[in-house]
Amino acid sequence: MSYLSLEKLNIAYGRAAAVHDLDLVVGRGELVSLLGPSGCGKTTTMRAIAGLLKTTSGRIVLDGDDITTRPAHQRRLGLVFQSYALFPHLSAFENVAFGLRLQKVAAAELQQRVDAALASVGLSGFAERLPARLSGGQQQRVALARAIVLKPRLLLLDEPLSNLDAKLRVEMRAELRRIQRELGITMLYVTHDQDEALSLSDRIVILRDGRIEQDATPEQLYHHPATAFVASFMGYDNLFDNLAWRPGQVAVRAAGEPGEAGTVKARSYLGERVEYLVDTARGAVKGVGAGHFNEGDRVSVLLDPALAARIGVSR
């Protein structure tokens, strides 16, 4: 059953259309990611849901309530952005309490709710610290606690981990998923990072030029891309005759072994494997090899149809 519903949503910047007839349904308690390259419409869609952008046409319905034209402050949504936007002169506790104080929540209830929000993000012992004394990950947790303490009907997150280093991003993915499951909150998550979307989401919606290219579970999206655009975006670098292979599915072997003949154009050492770019009669192919080949070496490339994803054609 739908909890958030976008119905034929159109959004434009002046005369330039940014989102086209977008239909999307999110179930209660789901974590759905909007994924795609820059300019695909994912942040525009989120800002329209938040009430920060006007729609050209269509409807936004949340829990049976049409909020399409409602002012942002009346939508009861939580927002977490790439920039933490914490007040530098306020403690973690006071940053989280800020919205509740504006709502004139009683002191006892405010204390209980802020304590609970900080505990839910693992910051119970950090209530009195100023943002300058918190790490990037801890600041992001304060921003998250500030959003959830208001008990939003929907939590919108726009690239919230992009300012963190790689190791911390992985840790925060797990934390976000834990928090979402424990609270049962519905989340819409914007990212351009495929790994982030795959690890976090119940469903992933791939956007292209303001339209949905594929809406699927992470497993479906990873193994069964619907179009050439999705396949390419999800790492299928080898696409020929509606069959697609990831580089790890293509074996680069010594010349004369089974496969297609080719010449090594580039070699990339990736730690656990060596990836080769090979020039073949069908075009450039990316694959991995157990042997050691240099640029200019003749090799054989095996594209096994049994390993390929079978895809459609992009619009």
Kindly state whether residues 10 and 143 are assigned to the same domain.
Answer: yes
The torsion angles phi and psi of 11, rounded to 5 degrees, stand at -135, 140
Q: Is residue 90 part of a domain?
A: yes
DSSP string across 162-220:
TTS-HHHHHHHHHHHHHHHHHHT--EEEEES-HHHHHHH-SEEEEEETTEEEEEE-HHH
Residues 201 and 252 in one domain: no
Q: Which residues of the chain have pLDDT under 70?
A: 1, 312-315
The answer to whether position 18 is within a domain reads yes
Residues in the chain: 315
In a domain, 103, yes or no: yes
Q: What is the pLDDT of residues 175-214, one digit of tens each?
A: 899 999 999 999 999 999 999 999 999 999 999 999 999 9
pLDDT at 83: 83
Range of the domain at 82: 2-223
Compute CA distances 23 → 8, 10, 60, 147, whole Å: 5, 10, 10, 26
- Residues whose CB falls within 8 Å of the CB of residue 150, separated by 6 or more in sequence, listed in order: 76, 78, 99, 100, 103
In this structure, are 208 and 280 located in the same domain? Answer: no
The confidence score (pLDDT) of residue 8 equals 97
How many other C-beta atoms can be found within 10 angstroms of the C-beta atom of residue 128? Answer: 10
CB 43 within 8 A of CB 158: yes
Q: Which CATH number belongs to the domain containing residue 63 in this structure?
A: 3.40.50.300
- CATH number where 279 lies: 2.40.50.140
Is the same domain home to 70 and 119? yes
Residue 76 in domain: yes
Closest by CA to 161, choosing from 232, 84, 238, is 84
| Distances from the Cα of 261 to the Cα of 274, 283, 294, angstroms | 19, 11, 15
Provide the 10 A C-beta neighbour count for residue 35: 27
210 and 265 belong to one structural domain: no
Whether residues 78 and 50 share a domain: the answer is yes
Give the pLDDT of residue 315. 45
105/196 Cα distance (integer angstroms): 36
Looking at the domain assignment, is residue 59 inside a domain?
yes
265 Cα distance to chain centroid = 33
For residue 120, give the amino acid letter: S
The tokens describing 208, both together, are: 């292209």
Q: Which of 191, 223, 255 is the last residue of a domain?
A: 223
59 shares a domain with 207 = yes
Indicate whether 121 and 191 sit together in one domain.
yes
Work out how many domains the chain is built from and give that number. Answer: 2
Q: Is 228 a domain residue?
A: no
Question: Which DSSP string do the residues of 38-90 spell out, in sequence order?
Answer: TTSSHHHHHHHHHTSS--SEEEEEETTEE-TTS-GGGS-EEEE-SS----TTS
pLDDT per position as a tens digit, 222-258: 999 999 999 999 999 999 989 999 999 999 999 999 9
> In the prediction, which pLDDT does 313 show?
53
pTM: 0.91
Q: Is residue 231 domain-resident?
A: no
Nearest of 41, 4, 83, 35 to residue 199 by alpha carbon:
35
Q: Which of 223, 248, 275 is the last residue of a domain?
A: 223
122 part of a folded domain: yes
Rounded-to-integer distance, Cα 276 and Cα 301, Å:
10
- Judging by beta carbons within 10 Å of its beta carbon (0-12, 13-18, 19+), is residue 165 exposed, middle or buried? exposed
Domain end among 223, 248, 269 = 223
Name the percent of the chain in helix, strand, coil, to the closest 5: 30, 35, 35
Q: Does residue 214 contact residue 300 with C-beta atoms inside 8 Å?
A: no
- 156 lies in the same domain as 11: yes
CA distance 183 to 148: 9
- List, in sequence order, the alpha helices (H) in 121-149: 136-148
Residues 145 and 65 in one domain: yes
**Pair 143, 86 in one domain:** yes
Is residue 201 located within the same domain as residue 250? no
